[in-house]
Amino acid sequence: MSENREHFSSRIGFILAAAGSAVGIGNMVGFPVAATKNGGGAFLIIYALFVVFLCIPIMLAEMGLGRRTQSDPQGAYVGIAGAASKWRFAGWLAVLTPFMIGVFYMVVTVWILGYLVLSLTGGLSTIADPAYFGTFINSKLVFVYLIAVAALVYAILVMGVKNGIEFAARIMMPALFIMLLLMVVFVLSLDNAFAGVKFYLIPDFSAINGTVISGALSQAFFSLSLGMGILITYGSYLRKHDDLIGSAKLVAIADSLVAFTAGLMVLPAIFHFDPSTNPSDLSDSSVAMIFTFLPKIFMALEVSIGYIGASAVASLFFLLVFFAAITSLVSIIEVPTATLVRKYNISRKKALGTLALTMGVLTLVATASFGMVDHFTNLLTYGGKSKSFFDLIEDVFYQTVLPFNGLLICLFVVWYWRQDNFNQSLKDGSNQYMGSLLQRYINFSLRSFIPVVLAVVFINTVLDIYF
């Protein structure tokens, strides 16, 4: 199987693809706003510690498992534990998770495309009205954008690993970096920009509490695309001689750097718009920030740079977020694609067709759960709140299953697969790994406190959301 398996053409191709997965909607506004509200520089320090000491070992566990088994998550668990083992359920869960989160992510990507098209075609004044968002997401237009996003993702994935995933990342990721830098330079030149930078960077340790710390961990975990089987799958497209460890480090650095830089774009813009902004009043919801708050800010630029200028800035922002979202969406959907192709021995075309149908139906339901169809809008009540189908996916998969999958990976890699095998997989292509401090740290942390931390996060989330 391994000889036929497609691989990334080069190390940089892998890094760009994995960074493409990691850099997503979460980086662009979720991270900057969370940091500003929760202690600025103090949050940044905690976040960085989590990335280095907790997330990188988990990243390596996923990638190492993928490279050794040369398989998707389901095949990876079964390949090591055997088809009859209970671990096969962990494998299925790691495929179901991206399938469901794909639906969730798809919905938001569709809206981004809609707002991009509106900004490009002179509709900035329309989207600047926060009330328009409600109208937009309940309009028929959404279906047109849904088809467009699905077609683009299909076109990328059907081309395979090298010509599809890697090719798209090679174009979109550098473009994204350039657009981000352009935005930062522009925004920093605005009046009061530095008030925003101050709130973002100056540490306020008094803001740190248990909730902030666990929020920082969830943000880092989500941002690096952990617990989704994605890094197992992308790791399986690495060859034996590829430097897995060096690549993983670069992916973590690139993701964190983009998240950090996005803060230099978002916060100055907010403070230019209203210098008296109180950071604690900013919305936690990335959706609200992107679709109702920021368009208003772009519109206000009309005074200084005219309507066309303001529309150009808004378009640049939405294109940037769109690229970030597409490369993430591609990585999410590659997991079930790879699983279907291997398990049922079908072509990528057939696998993608099956996914387009099933995910398409669920995406329609999720879209309709924003008021269009009451049954889906008020689907269930738990934790004292009425929840829509979209909320249900977010609560169950995003919030609950992600840390649980992370926990399963740790337990599987160190307790079942065994440390020696794991180290064997990591050391190929990274000569200095064996005996290094890093090796000892990874082995120790995955065996001890990382699963404990993930279990605590998991239990906390369950108590918090459902009871």
Q: Are 408 and 73 in contact (CB under 8 A)?
A: no
The amino acid present at 133, given as its one-letter code, is F
Nearest residue by C-beta to ligand PHE? 24
Return the number of the residue (21 or 399) whose C-beta is nearest ligand PHE: 21
Return the number of the residue (108 or 314) whose C-beta is nearest ligand PHE: 108
Q: Are 12 and 247 in contact (CB under 8 A)?
A: no
Return the number of the residue (190 or 253) whose C-beta is nearest ligand PHE: 253
Spell out the residues 6+ positions from residue 177 whose beta carbon is closer than 8 angstroms to its own: 258
Min dist. Cβ of residue 72 to ligand PHE (A): 15
Residue 380 is inside which H or E element, if any?
strand 380-382
Spell out the residues 6+ positions from residue 139 whose beta carbon is closer than 8 angstroms to its own: none
Min dist. Cβ of residue 329 to ligand PHE (A): 8
Q: Are 256 and 25 in contact (CB under 8 A)?
A: no
Q: CA torsion sign, 111 to 117 to 120 to 125?
A: negative
Token pair belonging to 252: 């973590």
Using a CB cutoff of 8 Å and minimum separation of 24, what contacts does 458-465 make? 458/400, 458/403, 458/404, 458/407, 460/214, 461/399, 461/400, 461/403, 462/400, 464/383, 465/382, 465/383, 465/395, 465/399, 465/400
Min dist. Cβ of residue 74 to ligand PHE (A): 17
Min dist. Cβ of residue 100 to ligand PHE (A): 11
DSSP3 helix / strand / coil % (the chain, rounded to 5): 80, 0, 20
Residue 353 is inside which H or E element, if any?
helix 348-368
Spell out the residues 6+ positions from residue 164 whose beta carbon is closer than 8 angstroms to its own: 155, 156, 157, 158, 330
Return the number of the residue (98 or 429) whose C-beta is nearest ligand PHE: 98
Min dist. Cβ of residue 97 to ligand PHE (A): 9
Return the number of the residue (267 or 414) whose C-beta is nearest ligand PHE: 267
Min dist. Cβ of residue 14 to ligand PHE (A): 16
Residue 386 is inside which H or E element, if any?
strand 385-387
CA dihedral 379, 336, 427, 90 (to 10 degrees): 50
Return the number of the residue (193 or 224) whose C-beta is nearest ligand PHE: 224
Min dist. Cβ of residue 62 to ligand PHE (A): 12
Euclidean distance between the first and final Cα of the chain, in Å? 46
Min dist. Cβ of residue 66 to ligand PHE (A): 15
- Compute the residue count for the chain: 467
Return the number of the residue (222 or 404) whose C-beta is nearest ligand PHE: 222
Return the number of the residue (28 or 340) whose C-beta is nearest ligand PHE: 28
Return the number of the residue (114 or 229) whose C-beta is nearest ligand PHE: 229
Q: CA torsion sign, 58 to 63 to 66 to 69?
A: negative
Return the number of the residue (25 or 137) whose C-beta is nearest ligand PHE: 25
Residues that bind ligand PHE in the complex, under the rule CB under 6 A: 21-22, 24-27, 222-223, 225, 228, 230, 328, 331-332
Q: What count of other Cβ atoms lies within 10 Å of the Cβ of residue 252? A: 22
Dist. CA 21–CA 258, nearest whole Å: 12
Min dist. Cβ of residue 186 to ligand PHE (A): 23
Q: What's the number of CA atoms in the CB half-sphere (13 Å) around residue 345?
A: 1
Min dist. Cβ of residue 398 to ligand PHE (A): 8
Min dist. Cβ of residue 333 to ligand PHE (A): 10
Return the number of the residue (108 or 183) whose C-beta is nearest ligand PHE: 108
